[in-house]
Amino acid sequence: MKVIVRVLLIVVAAVSVAWLGNFAVTTVATTMPRSGEFRPRHDDHEHHDHAGAGRAGELGASLAFVGGIGGMTIIASRWSRRLRQHKRALH
Amino acid sequence: MNANMRQRVLDALLDLVLLVSFLLATAPRMSGIPVHEWLSIALAVVVLWHLLRHWQWIVQVGKSFFGTLTITARLNYLLNVLFFITFVLLMYSGIAISESAMPSIGTRYFDNRAWRMYHHLFSNITLIIMAVHVALNWQWIVNLFRHRPKMLSTGDAS
């Protein structure tokens, strides 16, 4: 029973966020007419049809992105912890 | 390995699956659109499970958010809220422009440039937040792989 209530809460939260997002995007799309227009399907398939190195490159870029940002955050949090310890030691 | 430790290892494995799946889902050119879409839908189910597993942490930190909480814990909580919002918007925009998964269950293909643009935007934001989310819980992950049950019982990665 508890799990069902929790799942329902998460779903309600998700639907609310999606509804708000939809509202925001629809509002932006109507104020900028060209951004929301319909286009023939073939236009949007251009970027899916590349072959070769670009395919693996996409995953590599994501990995590098996550590794870079994650690494920098870890280093920053360690520095911040050391700084706090240093300040505490001074007092 | 006791039951608590086993559960923690299972959680860590699930989180690892989440991380790898998310990274794979960010490469639709490599996996192809159908795999990208079905993998993302499966990812949403695993995220739901992840949230249920860490429900106690969400409630406890939520209750003491304006009380006695460290800045790091508060930031981590806010980041997780933002993570949830961007992930929902990422999924919603993905469903809106779905070319394979949604049409296969009978919904119409909705080709919209605005949603496509926002899908890419939410994907990038979610990727950044996920990297910070992993980094903020890095010590928990390290402790887990060092097999220190004593430390594990005090930490929680959500």
B89 touches chain A (CB under 8 A): yes
How many domains does the structure of chain B reveal?
1
In a domain, A58, yes or no: no
For residue range A52-64, what is the model confidence (pLDDT) as tens digits? 455 667 778 888 8
Out of A18, A54, A65, name the one closest to residue B127 (CB).
A65
| Percent of chain A residues past pLDDT 90, beyond the cut | 15
Alpha-carbon gap: A14 to the closest alpha carbon of chain B (Å): 6
Q: Are B62 and B55 in contact (CB under 8 A)?
A: no
Cα separation, B107 vs B3, whole angstroms? 44
ipTM of the complex: 0.76
If one counts the domains in chain A, the total is 1
At residue B148 the predicted structure's pLDDT band, cuts being 50, 70 and 90, is low
Q: Does A64 touch chain B (CB under 8 A)?
A: no
What confidence score (pLDDT) does residue A57 get? Answer: 73
CB proximity A41 to B under 8 Å: yes
Q: Which domain holds residue B142?
A: 3-152
- Where b means 16+ CB within 10 Å and e means fewer, A74-88 reads beebeeeeeeeeeee
| Predicted pLDDT of residue A32 | 59
Residue B46 domain-assigned (yes or no): yes
Domain containing A21: what range?
A: 2-40+65-90
Which pTM was predicted? 0.77
Q: Which tens digits make up the pLDDT trace of B20-72?
A: 899 899 888 888 889 999 999 999 999 999 999 889 989 998 888 888 888 88
Nearest to A62 among B48, B112, B127 (CB): B127
Tell me the chain B residues in contact with residue A47 when contact means C-beta distances shorter than 8 Å: 29
Is B158 part of a structural domain of the chain?
Answer: no
Of B68, B50, B71, B48, residue with least CA distance to B60 = B68
In angstroms, rounded to a whole number, what is the distance separating the alpha carbons of residues B86 and B80? 10
- pLDDT for res A30: 64
Task: Tell me, yes or no, if A3 comes closer than 8 A to chain B by beta carbon.
Answer: yes
